[in-house]
Amino acid sequence: MDIASIIGLVVAIVLVFISISLGEDGVASVKAFLDAPSAMITFGGAFSCVLVSHTMQDFINGIKGIKLAFKVPVLNTSEMIKNIIELSNVARKEGLLSLEEATAELEEPFLKKGILLVVDGTDPDLVRGILETELISIEDRHKKVIGFWDMVAAMGPAWGMIGTLLGLVAMLNDMNDPSSIGPSMAVALITTLYGSLLANWVATPIANKLRVINAAEMQLKEVMIEGLLSIQAGENPRVIEEKLKSFLAPKDREGGQDEADFGGEE
Amino acid sequence: MDIASIIGLVVAIVLVFISISLGEDGVASVKAFLDAPSAMITFGGAFSCVLVSHTMQDFINGIKGIKLAFKVPVLNTSEMIKNIIELSNVARKEGLLSLEEATAELEEPFLKKGILLVVDGTDPDLVRGILETELISIEDRHKKVIGFWDMVAAMGPAWGMIGTLLGLVAMLNDMNDPSSIGPSMAVALITTLYGSLLANWVATPIANKLRVINAAEMQLKEVMIEGLLSIQAGENPRVIEEKLKSFLAPKDREGGQDEADFGGEE
Amino acid sequence: MDIASIIGLVVAIVLVFISISLGEDGVASVKAFLDAPSAMITFGGAFSCVLVSHTMQDFINGIKGIKLAFKVPVLNTSEMIKNIIELSNVARKEGLLSLEEATAELEEPFLKKGILLVVDGTDPDLVRGILETELISIEDRHKKVIGFWDMVAAMGPAWGMIGTLLGLVAMLNDMNDPSSIGPSMAVALITTLYGSLLANWVATPIANKLRVINAAEMQLKEVMIEGLLSIQAGENPRVIEEKLKSFLAPKDREGGQDEADFGGEE
Amino acid sequence: MDIASIIGLVVAIVLVFISISLGEDGVASVKAFLDAPSAMITFGGAFSCVLVSHTMQDFINGIKGIKLAFKVPVLNTSEMIKNIIELSNVARKEGLLSLEEATAELEEPFLKKGILLVVDGTDPDLVRGILETELISIEDRHKKVIGFWDMVAAMGPAWGMIGTLLGLVAMLNDMNDPSSIGPSMAVALITTLYGSLLANWVATPIANKLRVINAAEMQLKEVMIEGLLSIQAGENPRVIEEKLKSFLAPKDREGGQDEADFGGEE
Amino acid sequence: MDIASIIGLVVAIVLVFISISLGEDGVASVKAFLDAPSAMITFGGAFSCVLVSHTMQDFINGIKGIKLAFKVPVLNTSEMIKNIIELSNVARKEGLLSLEEATAELEEPFLKKGILLVVDGTDPDLVRGILETELISIEDRHKKVIGFWDMVAAMGPAWGMIGTLLGLVAMLNDMNDPSSIGPSMAVALITTLYGSLLANWVATPIANKLRVINAAEMQLKEVMIEGLLSIQAGENPRVIEEKLKSFLAPKDREGGQDEADFGGEE
């Protein structure tokens, strides 16, 4: 579990509850902010319209995407580089065919597929072609999930506003009792609040997190492609290391100092 | 019919009606939300201005586009790959010319055209050129329909606001009877509500759905182009399979496990 | 004249007038919506600021652009393809030089220029270079006119809001007579209404229409470039036809069935 | 001086003053719209925050950029083409070295630099490389000035809103005297008005004008690069003329008819 | 320290305090604008949701990024060009191997790495490949920090609005005491004010500043790559100088006149 993301999500909603509880009625004030019909129109409307734009399977994948936003990636780029250099040493000493054994232990399916292609003696251009097509296809599928949450982030406030308009029109049509105007307005505004929370507490942060995870995974896979093609070309392991380490921040190259990256290079 | 999209559209509007009916007057409240002049200015204005930007033919195609958003595509990528591998086996055993017969059963006009070009002995570069030009032209035409609904999504709220401004100015000019202010405001706001619904209930979801369908169709056609050129080059059916399966999510390759895609590759 | 665009523009403004006339005072209500100072600040301010960003000549071209949005293009792509295939037959039978005569009847200056370059025996790379530079230059000039209307669409609502702020500040400073507040607010809002109409009734639709026209013209010119270079290369007229027809929708290829394009290809 | 831009700027602000003066108090009403603290927070805040994003030198260059938006370019593309064709004739008759003399009269430093490179016998690829690097660097510097005004256009309304919020909070905290609410609100809104004017009267038009000037200058420099390389390659002056005139609108080629450009090519 | 950025930040907030202190109660008015719960929900909510989208390490790097926005870069492009030309002279006279000594004094790690690659006799294509991969990786890491502040700039106003909605709903539910409406509204608006300040006083200016710094650093590194490859290719130092100076503004080439850049080239 990715602690940072969980902490962020929890702290934000706790702050909302604290903020509400600071009112005169204390924790009891929370009741005034819970309104089932408002939730129904905002969340129901938003997710229904997101469903219109997706197949049922993509919709379910989108919802499930929330789980993936909190998953910590198993491998990072610098470990992957170590693995590839090891593989290049094996290939140099025992020949490309010896890599087949090495794949038995590999969990990463993309790297495994690439090694099998190399072991099969596939033409380097074709290896690159197949792996890059796969890379693009993976990214396309990731973008579908990201697009799902981007659409939730747009539909949340839109249906919040639709809910508020429904409430306002009803209220304005029936203003006989002045004392009811305040509470009616309050209820009308709750859908806007729900829509804002759906967009800014959940959907946008999730979409952005998935974007970050996708970027990291794409970089990792680019490192694998570059590494595999270098192994196939029989390049010197030291040169391969030099090449692949260019993908890393200076501090990750030695694993030593823990400094902010931006400034370290100016 | 694409059930998910239909369900989404229906649920969203049902929620709006439930939300309205929860008011004091029950289902009778719906009457207060139906206003012919408001519908006229919002929908009439929005579609008129969309018409300004299109030829009559493109406008009709745009409207018809709503039907296409609910159509389930006949073929999916993994079936197409199977077809192409079959064709490559036929071509290998009986020669390229034997493909002509195979096209008789094909419904997909794009693949058919490509095979006929190959059978005619057209130069591979020209085959690619012709098919890619066609691909781009198809996408251009799809984008016209998508652009139509994007423009409806922009014009809906704009004309909703114009309607509200018309109502507000009229109301503010004639405030002799305070008790009429509420209902007048209510009517003025209904155009904004209609505009929001036009954009967020219909136009944006339809446009996004068409975008998704277009992306799937473009990928399918790219698979066809790659496959056809591989067949023409006389490549090994196993290599062609390897190549084309890179377009698929891992779970679709064997047809076995039904897991979310994003995480399965990390 | 492009009937669709004219109809759209007229219907939209007629709907506005009907909407206003539905008020208590009937057609006389229209008077309340006409306010010369509001028009002055909104339209004057918007167009003045558009003028700041343009030379006088570009400003005049921009204004004139409105006329072009309603012009029906003389040639469509499928007629152009017929012409080019005819030319390729002439060139095949009577030699490239015979094309010179054919240009005498051509009205399209771009095609004419291209043929003269071919007849002059210009190097094919240079022919492509010259024609593509011209294509890009034409598009740059079209984009200036489109940008003009995009800027009007942005400046309209902006100056509408400036007018409303001017009106609100004046009103708020002088609230001695409560009965004047309503009408003052009404007048203040009229500039916002004018700005919205300028943007959504005129400027955005015109800009989008010009974008559509530009796209069609660019496609037409690409067809001409491809066709001319094929003629120069002495390609078979049947191959040229195959190549150029890829630019067309299936239904336009035979001129037969009149079906929506998007779905016809799935 | 570019008359159109000056006229636009002056007319817009004059319209604002006329609009204000149409109020009951005539020209004296203007006083109500002048508020030093409002100007301080809006303009001060906006420009301070623009300063945060720039070095002092870039900030000064940005401010000075306003001057450049009104400068009429010395040369236009069609005159430049004439100059280049002249140079190509000189080079053809008297050799490339003779161009050195010609540069003595040239005011345009970019063309001068290019000719000196050609005269020095620099490799054509290197000439193109050096000139294109310079082109990109010039555009980068232009974009800094354009970005400065884009940021002013964003910060103006933002700080206008901050000012209004400051005013509203102060007013709402002290509502003992109902008669002061109107004027307090008026003052609070003035910052929003100032912010809108800063963005829509000055910053956006200036930024757009600079964009137009940059595009024209980039095109001019591209013409110079193409022309210089053609001269260096010893191409026929007639071919060079044909090539370079593709950058011009048809009406500018002969200098004859003065017609709108968009339609003239359909 | 970058004085301009510091001045901008300080002046903006001082203007806010002056603006507040101009109220009736003088400096004491500031108290009305300080509200701990408002700060908690706005800043807490915004940063929590930014945390959701980042790993803990990236979040910390993002916060630290504020420091980097005020750092003055050690080297500018024109000094770097001088260094490279010096190195090219050394390489020409004493051979490429002699560059190894020169790196001992170099502080810039990117240039150092490049020289060591050249000294090692690495293939020029590989040198370019390694350095460009590094360049892209550096930019990717910079963009993460910039994206952090862009997200703060979006989340600030969003959570400001959520805070205001919370306040409004609470207020509308409890309107028994009319005299409390004003102050309650005031408090509700303070979160919107805080959100606006977070976005427009801090986050957007910081993000834009980092963008400017990143662009400068990328240009500097491109100069290094071009320079190193020219040294490796054994090019004439005068040609290298000519090449690299294309990256500079004319005024920086000689260091003489101090004129605005945009106009100096027209």
* Cα R_g (chain B), whole angstroms: 26
Task: Count A/E contacts: CB-CB distance under 8 Å.
Answer: 168
Question: Closest to C262 (Cβ–Cβ): which among B68, B117, B170?
Answer: B68
Residue pLDDT, tens place only, C159-213: 999 999 999 999 998 877 878 888 889 999 999 999 999 999 999 999 999 999 9
CB contact under 8 A, D37 and E23: no
What is the helix, strand, coil percentage profile of chain A, to 5?
80, 0, 20
Which residue in C has a C-alpha nearest to residue B70's C-alpha?
C263
Residue E230: list chain D partners with CB under 8 A: none
Residue of C nearest to D190 (CA): C169
Instruction: Read off the pLDDT band of E102 (50, 70, 90).
Output: confident
Tell if the CB–CB gap between B170 and C262 is shorter than 8 Å.
no
Rounded CA-CA distance C190/C198 in Å is 12
Nearest Cα residue in chain C from D246: C134
Residue-wise pLDDT for C57-111, tens only, equals 999 999 999 988 888 776 788 889 999 999 999 998 988 888 888 787 787 889 9
How high does pLDDT run on average in chain C? 89
Residues from chain A contacting residue B9 (CB–CB below 8 Å): 48, 52
> Does residue B255 surpass a pLDDT of 70?
no
Question: Rounded to a whole number, what is the distance in Å from the CA of C259 to chain B's nearest CA?
Answer: 9
What residues of E are in contact with residue A189 (Cβ under 8 Å)?
165, 168-169, 172
Q: What is the pLDDT of residue B23?
A: 76
- Rounded Cα distance, D163 and D185, in Å: 11
Does the pLDDT at position D223 exceed 90? yes
| Touch D-B: 3+ C-beta pairs under 8 A | no
Residue-wise pLDDT for E43-72, tens only, equals 999 999 999 999 999 999 999 999 888 887
At residue A96 the predicted structure's pLDDT band, cuts being 50, 70 and 90, is: confident
Q: What is each CA distance from E65 to A259, B18, E137, E208, in whole angstroms?
A: 11, 50, 17, 12
Model confidence at A1, in pLDDT bands (50, 70, 90)? low
Which residues in chain A are closer than 8 Å to B7, comparing Cβ atoms?
48, 51
Chain C hits for D225, Cβ within 8 Å:
none
Which chains sit next to B, with 3 or more Cβ pairs under 8 A? A, C
Chain E residues with CB under 8 Å of D213 CB are: 266
A246 and E73 in contact by Cβ < 8 A? no
The alpha carbon of residue A96 is apart from the nearest alpha carbon of chain B, in Å, by: 20
Instruction: Give the mean pLDDT of D78-105.
Output: 88
Residue found under tokens 């690495």: E122
* DSSP-assigned letters across all residues of E209-244: HHHHHHHHHHHHHHHHHHHHHHHHTT--HHHHHHHH
A71 and B263 within 8 Å at the Cβ level: the answer is yes
Of residues D192, D200, D265, nearest to C49 (C-beta):
D200
E259 min Cα distance to partner chain D (Å): 9
Q: Assess whether pLDDT exceeds 50 at residue D31.
A: yes
Confidence of residue D194 (pLDDT cuts 50, 70, 90): very high
Interface touch D137/E246, C-beta < 8 Å: yes
Closest-CA residue of A relative to B16 is: A41
Chains touching chain E at 3 or more Cβ pairs under 8 angstroms?
A, D
d(CA C191, CA C176) in angstroms, rounded, equals 24
Are D265 and C138 within 8 A, CB to CB? Answer: yes
* pLDDT band at D217; cut points 50, 70, 90: very high
Higher pLDDT, A47 or C77: A47
pLDDT score at A177: 80
Residues of C with Cβ-Cβ distance to B51 under 8 angstroms: 4-5, 7-8, 11
User: Which chain E residues have a beta carbon less than 8 Å from that of A24?
Assistant: 174
pLDDT at D1: 66
The Cα C93–Cα E240 span in angstroms is 56
Residue B199 has pLDDT above 50, yes or no: yes
- In angstroms, what separates the C-alpha of A47 from chain B's closest C-alpha? 8
Which of the four pLDDT bands, split at 50, 70 and 90, describes residue E265?
Answer: very low
What is the three-state SS of chain B? CCHHHHHHHHHHHHHHHHHHHCCCCHHHHHHHHCCHHHHHHHHHHHHHHHHHCCCHHHHHHHHHHHHHCCCCCCCCHHHHHHHHHHHHHHHHHHCHHHHHHHHCCCCCHHHHHHHHHHHCCCCHHHHHHHHHHHHHHHHHHHHHHHHHHHHHHHHHHHHHHHHHHHHHHHHHHCCCCHHHHHHHHHHHHHHHHHHHHHHHHHHHHHHHHHHHHHHHHHHHHHHHHHHHHHHHCCCCHHHHHHHHHCCCCHHHHHCCCCCCCCHHHC
pLDDT band at C261 (very low <50, low <70, confident <90, very high): very low
pLDDT of the residue at B254: 64
Q: Which chains touch D (3 or more CB pairs under 8 A)?
A: C, E
Q: Which chain D residues contact residue E247 at CB under 8 A?
A: 133, 137
User: For the ranges A61-65, B100-104, D211-215, E166-170, which has the lowest average pLDDT?
Assistant: B100-104
**Gap between the Cα atoms of E78 and A241, Å rounded:** 33
Interface test with chain E among D48, D52, D133, D211, by most E beta carbons within 10 Å: D52
Question: Residue C11 belongs to what H/E stretch?
Answer: helix C3-21
Between CA B184 and CA C182 the distance in angstroms is 13
For chain A, what is the largest distance between any 2 Cα atoms, rounded to a whole number of angstroms?
A: 90
CB within 8 Å: A44 and B11: yes
Per-residue tokens: D109: 């430093």
Quick one: pLDDT band at residue A256, thresholds 50, 70, 90? very low
- Residue E266 above 70 pLDDT? no
What pLDDT score was predicted for residue B127? 93
Per-residue pLDDT of D98-155, as tens digits, reads: 888 878 778 788 999 999 999 988 899 999 999 999 999 999 999 999 999 999 999 9
Task: Find the closest chain B residue to C202 by CA distance.
Answer: B49
The per-residue pLDDT for range C115-174, each reduced to its tens digit, is 999 998 889 999 999 999 999 999 999 999 999 999 999 999 999 999 999 999 999 988
Q: Flag whether pLDDT at D259 surpasses 60.
A: no
Task: Give residue-wise pLDDT tens across range B88-133.
Answer: 999 988 888 888 887 877 878 899 999 999 998 889 999 999 999 9
Query: What is the reported pTM?
Result: 0.92
Which pLDDT belongs to residue E1? 66
pLDDT at A194 > cutoff 90 = yes
The minimum CA-CA distance between A248 and chain B, rounded to whole Å, is 19
pLDDT tens digits, one per residue of E215-242: 999 999 999 999 999 999 989 898 899 8
Contact across the interface for E262 and D134, Cβ inside 8 Å: no
pLDDT for position B188: 93
Per-residue confidence band for E84, with pLDDT thresholds at 50, 70 and 90? very high
Given pLDDT bands bounded at 50, 70 and 90, which one contains residue E89? very high
- Verify whether the Cβ–Cβ distance E260 to D65 is below 8 Å: yes
Q: B75 or E222, which is more confident?
A: E222
Res. B210: pLDDT tops 50: yes
Task: Chain A: list its partners (3+ Cβ pairs within 8 Å).
Answer: B, E
Task: Give C10→chain B minimum CA distance, Å.
Answer: 8
Answer whether E32 sits within 8 Å of D67, measured CB to CB: no
Instruction: Assess whether pLDDT exceeds 80 at residue A19.
Output: yes
Mean pLDDT (chain A) is 89
At residue C181, the pLDDT reads: 87
Tokens of B204: 């944006």
Residues of C in contact with D219 (CB under 8 A): 140
